[in-house]
């Protein structure tokens, strides 16, 4: 079972009652708002390592259907308490929305439509780009909390706002698909995470696209002590793109760089049947081996015209 299968299994076991989720569509702003809660989020126990997840703090947001024909192009995430006061977003270790109606570009599991980590900022792409979506596509969301603030949060409400472009936009956006590459190989529920030894180390895995195409943009996900992610041509060892983590002096990761390519900039093209490599680098400043490392490269992939995804 791959990463997505593991998360879906967790979601199925912890699915909250239906009345904890509301989905509203704002056609004027072209926004879909998913609100869930309330949640009680206890502080992470003292001594629990920052990059280790407590399984008891994993859960599901719930199932819902994508409500409109159009193109998904961005998101915003907000947390508030029962009085409307802001709650730190850093207590969200990860939030994933999977599209059960379509497979991933590289792996035979449901598409990861959206992934947010503690280091991930809100993001959107221009209306000239988007992920094609049809009304009724089945989605499921799941979340992992990691509250290192030192105190509990009560009655927390989460609002995930999804931005979309309507189907009648002229000209229509370029249709792209989310692409996720796991530097740990992507095989097996246990293999998504790995141990980070003291000092500098790397994790790498090769992949061969079944379809050719180009990347419109890339980002990624690293845990604390992460340095960078690289996409390489495995045949030539040339670096196609490198994205760096934003770290403080202790190695804590607060963000991951993003690259959005355009016709005037560097374009990354992937050829069908050619070997590529994704590499995740860590620099563990402690003297102990730390479990729970991750290294995921994510991108927006436009297949060649002969295999382009259908517009809504």
Q: Answer for the pair 214, 300: CB distance below 8 angstroms, yes or no.
A: no
Q: HSE of 16 in the Cβ direction (CA atoms, 13 Å)?
A: 19
Asked if residue 142 is part of any domain, the answer here is yes
Measured from the Cβ of residue 151, the count of other Cβ atoms closer than 10 Å reads 7
Asked if residue 310 is part of any domain, the answer here is no
CATH of the domain at 196: 2.60.120.230
Asked if residue 235 is part of any domain, the answer here is yes
Higher pLDDT, 238 or 2: 238
Reported confidence tier of residue 262, pLDDT bands at 50, 70, 90: low
Asked if residue 265 is part of any domain, the answer here is yes
Looking at the structure, tell me whether residues 146 and 193 fall in a common domain: no
Predicted pLDDT of residue 144: 85
Looking at the structure, tell me whether residues 45 and 128 fall in a common domain: yes
306 phi, psi to nearest 5 deg:
-70, -15
User: 114-165, pLDDT tens digit by residue?
Assistant: 988 777 889 898 999 899 999 999 999 988 888 888 889 989 999 999 999 9
Longest dimension (CA), the chain: 57
pLDDT reading at 308 higher than 80: no
Q: What is the pTM of this model?
A: 0.82
7 phi, psi to nearest 5 deg:
-65, -40
Reported confidence tier of residue 301, pLDDT bands at 50, 70, 90: very high
Looking at the structure, tell me whether residues 44 and 145 fall in a common domain: yes
Q: Which of 123, 147, 166 is the last residue of a domain?
A: 166
Q: Give me the chain's average pLDDT, please.
A: 84
Query: Which residue in the block uniquely carries the two structure tokens 């949060």?
Result: 153
Give mean pLDDT, residues 232-238: 96
Looking at the structure, tell me whether residues 124 and 236 fall in a common domain: no
In eight-state DSSP terms, residue 91 is G
Looking at the structure, tell me whether residues 257 and 297 fall in a common domain: yes
Measured from the Cβ of residue 139, the count of other Cβ atoms closer than 10 Å reads 24
Return d(Cα 68, Cα 126) in angstroms, integer: 19
Number of domains in the chain: 2
- The domain in which residue 80 lies consists of 3-166
Asked if residue 67 is part of any domain, the answer here is yes
User: Could you tell me the two tokens for 211?
Assistant: 């379809």
Return d(Cα 136, Cα 134) in angstroms, integer: 6
Looking at the structure, tell me whether residues 112 and 210 fall in a common domain: no
pLDDT reading at 102 higher than 50: yes
Predicted pLDDT of residue 201: 97
């Amino acid at each position: 079972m791959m990463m997505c299968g593991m998360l879906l299994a967790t979601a199925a076991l912890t699915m909250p009652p239906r009345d904890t989720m509301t989905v509203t569509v704002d056609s004027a702003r072209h926004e879909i708002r998913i609100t869930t809660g309330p949640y009680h989020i206890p502080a992470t126990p003292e001594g629990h390592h920052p990059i280790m997840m407590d399984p008891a703090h994993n859960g599901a947001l719930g199932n819902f259907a994508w409500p409109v024909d159009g193109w998904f192009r961005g998101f915003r995430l907000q947390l508030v308490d029962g009085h409307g006061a802001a709650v730190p977003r850093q207590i969200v270790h990860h939030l994933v929305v999977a599209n059960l109606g379509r497979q991933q570009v590289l792996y035979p599991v449901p598409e990861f439509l959206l992934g947010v980590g503690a280091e991930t900022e809100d993001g959107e792409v221009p209306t000239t780009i988007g992920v094609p979506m049809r009304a009724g596509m089945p989605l499921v969301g799941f979340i992992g909390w990691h509250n290192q603030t030192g105190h509990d949060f009560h009655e927390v409400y989460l609002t995930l706002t999804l931005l979309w472009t309507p189907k009648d936009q002229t000209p229509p956006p370029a249709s792209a698909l989310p692409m996720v590459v796991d530097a740990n190989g992507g095989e097996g529920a246990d293999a998504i995470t790995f141990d980070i030894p003291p000092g500098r180390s790397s994790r790498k895995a090769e992949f061969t696209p079944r379809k050719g195409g180009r990347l419109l943009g890339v980002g990624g996900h690293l845990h604390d002590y992460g340095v960078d992610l690289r996409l390489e041509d495995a045949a030539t060892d040339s670096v196609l793109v490198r994205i760096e983590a934003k770290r403080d002096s202790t190695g804590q990761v607060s963000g991951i760089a993003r690259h959005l390519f355009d016709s005037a900039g560097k374009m990354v093209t992937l050829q069908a049947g050619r070997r590529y490599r994704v590499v995740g680098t860590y620099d563990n400043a402690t003297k102990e081996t730390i479990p729970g490392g991750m290294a995921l490269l994510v991108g927006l992939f436009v297949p060649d015209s002969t295999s382009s995804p259908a517009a809504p």
